[in-house]
A = this chain, B = another copy of it.
Amino acid sequence: MNDRFLRALARQPVDRTPIWIMRQAGRYLPEYRATRERAGDFLTLCKTPELACEVTLQPLARFPLDAAIVFSDILTIPDAMGLGLSLEEGVGPRFARPVRSRAAIRALAVPDPETDLRYVTDTVRLVKSELNNRVPLIGFAGSPWTLATYMVEGQSSRDFAIIKKLAYAEPGDLHVLLNTLSNAITLYLRAQIAAGADAIMIFDTWGGALSSAAYRSFSLDYMAKIVHDLKGTGIPIIVFTKGGGQWLESIAALGCAAVGLDWSTDIAKARSRVGDTVALQGNLDPAVMLTTPEIVAQHAREVLDAFGPGPGHIFNLGHGITPQVPPENVAALVETVHEYSRRYHQHAS
């Protein structure tokens, strides 16, 4: 297996900086759009293992990426809890039955991954078999706080007024919800690991909307619990809080193998702040990908220079790749990272 990604997660020497891209299977690829067209809609694509496997592998056929990530969505868990998920283009996710009362929170049951979310573990098994150990496979879940925001707000939000009112006025109720979600996420990730995932990523997309104290109480502590509960699996975990640049030290201390950085954080400063306690993943501004291969290459070199020599860097964007990105810019990115980074790994085996 090409194990650059796993070696970098363990902060072991590598020959080149590994790279994968958040949402690497996605709308910027014409072959993805074709498969999605065949599926009919996004949720059917997620829920059909053959098609989900197909799109998972598409970017690897085009680009020499160092990891695959199972094609799925962070909202599979609340969907399995019966909230009635719909995902419309341009509208974003919506739940028909948002969770707005103490009774609704207490009524939530923890899904059984191998029955209620079987389509995900089946996809993991299928991808794992198709990959034939070429590169490692990443499984993932949303963080408890991030899932809770969608479940309580019922959709994407700008100011999170409903869930924050709950957090400040009835924190006990929110803690019940976050505990249920933590249990569900731990089981779900454990099932993905059993099905073959070689690494795990936790997406805390909305942790950055919280105050420093509320972040610790409502997001970080629950991610720490999940990481702790999965410790025995030996599988490395990447924790990514978008907008969490101020809290890097706390995230690094929760026991994960790597911290994902969004593009707002200077990766050189991040490295000096967390030292060699964790690997760092990131963090090119996804908007750079909208330009030209030359500009992409230049900015990729700047990120590599900022991280500097030595192991412990997994190159990625600072957030998901967007639909308007020309695929040739992705080719330029991957090639630049692999070629230019060699100078920083000269003593590797």
Contacts and interface: CB of A to CB of B under 8 A. Distances in A.
A229 interface: no
Copies of this chain present: 2
A322 B266 contact: no
B287 A165 contact: yes
Interface in A292-336: 292, 295, 299, 302, 318, 322, 324
A213 interface: yes
Nearest to A210: B264
A285 B246 contact: no
A307 B170 CA distance: 26
B287 A161 contact: yes
A295 B297 CA distance: 51
Given A161-B324, A212-B265, 10 more contacts: A160-B287, A164-B285, A168-B285, A168-B291, A169-B292, A211-B285, A212-B269, A213-B266, A213-B302, A243-B264
Nearest to A292: B169
Contacts of A318: 211
A205 to B, nearest CB: 12
A290 to B, nearest CB: 4
A264 B246 contact: yes
Contacts of A164: 285, 287-288, 290
A13 interface: no
Contacts of A64: none
Given A161-B324, A287-B164, A208 B264 contact: yes
A252 to B, nearest CB: 15
Contacts of A291: 165, 168-169
